[in-house]
Structure 1
């Protein structure tokens, strides 16, 4: 069974029919264990504007924003749980749940015997100060604790950590399918820290989440 990581752009969280759009998109994908995370959207943009006016310590601001992603996780989790079209859905809400999931994924036998399933991960449960210190390597590079890092690069980081087959970044904006990773960074479609995953082992896809109808 393939392992797919997806990042749901924060700006998509205010799309009227997001759940229907996600359902149609997921139905069109090859079967996989899918781990999704959500961006912070305008909530994080507000912090960015605040920091521009009243600059703080970059690392402290970075980790404060990571903690704020709990709101995106909890809100989106409620939407998935209340939607009958997502019966095989599970949350990874805390550090203990993350360790259980990572252990399952690390066991190839468990993956091969698994069925397609959708998980939603709480970013601060797996990406925190301790985890980046413990898991930095050539395959899993340390991300800048600055505005150069957003959930785009965090999704790539998670895909690298889990040896995922692919990482898909879903956006609200149009994305040229012919663009290289460098093009996407230069165009501001994904964050600069994504450059650390050039030449990674997993497939990178960045695309606009299409409307279901």
Structure 2
């Protein structure tokens, strides 16, 4: 099983439909898409700047932003299955479908290690990959990606969030940071994966 995080910055990009269509067609039964918050999360940041509410409220709103993006993705590609729990994800994959995670279970009543802007959908994708014992994590970004960077350098440049390298520190799977134009590379990997 692969976890593929689609950056929220792609929420208005025509390439989003290509990624969703191809992940649906080639990733059925083995891919879970994690949506970024996109413009929905930007609204959370904007409202927090105005009203100064705490990061716990902002975290819960950002989780809902990811869920909204998941629903939008399914609206763009009806074969995708929106899944909120691990069992729903596994059921969708068992049915040969591609799942899109709506992380309602990450809403919190009290602040914890996840309820900060140091943790975004990048780290949540890694968190999910760890929980699902994924075989690979791919994080797709709109910005340029320098493949010579390590994860700490990506965090310093703002490509991934500050906690990402910590969440993947003990990952037993490969982690790829990709540009949105790298679909050909992903396609090749999906077509050549050993499914035995």
TM-score, normalising length: structure 1: 0.73
Offset of residue 5 of structure 1: 0.4
Which residue in the other structure is 2:180 paired with?
A: 209
Structural mapping, 1:1-213, within 5 Å: 3-23=1-21, 33-81=30-78, 89-92=80-83, 94-95=84-85, 98-102=86-90, 117-124=97-104, 126-129=105-108, 143-197=113-167, 198-210=169-181
Q: Which has the higher contact order (CA 8 A, sep 6+)?
A: 1
User: Runs of 5+ in structure 2 lacking a partner?
Assistant: 185-196
Name the SS of the counterpart of 2:81 in structure 1: strand
CA distance in 1, matches of 2:131, 2:19: 28
Query: Cα offset for 1:46?
Result: 2.5
Listed one character per residue, the Cα deviations across residues 135-171 of structure 1 (whole Å, up to 9, x for unaligned) are xxxxxxx743111111000000000011111111111
Deviation at 1:21, TM superposition (A): 4.2
Residues 20/68 of structure 1: CA separation in 2 closer, same or farther (3 Å cut): closer
SS state at 1:144 partner: coil
Cα RMSD of the aligned pairs, angstroms, is 3.1
Give the Cα–Cα distance (whole angstroms) in 1 for the partners of residues 183 and 65 of structure 2: 29
Structure 1 unaligned spans of 5+: 82-86, 106-110, 134-141
How far has the Cα of 1:100 moved from its partner? 4.1
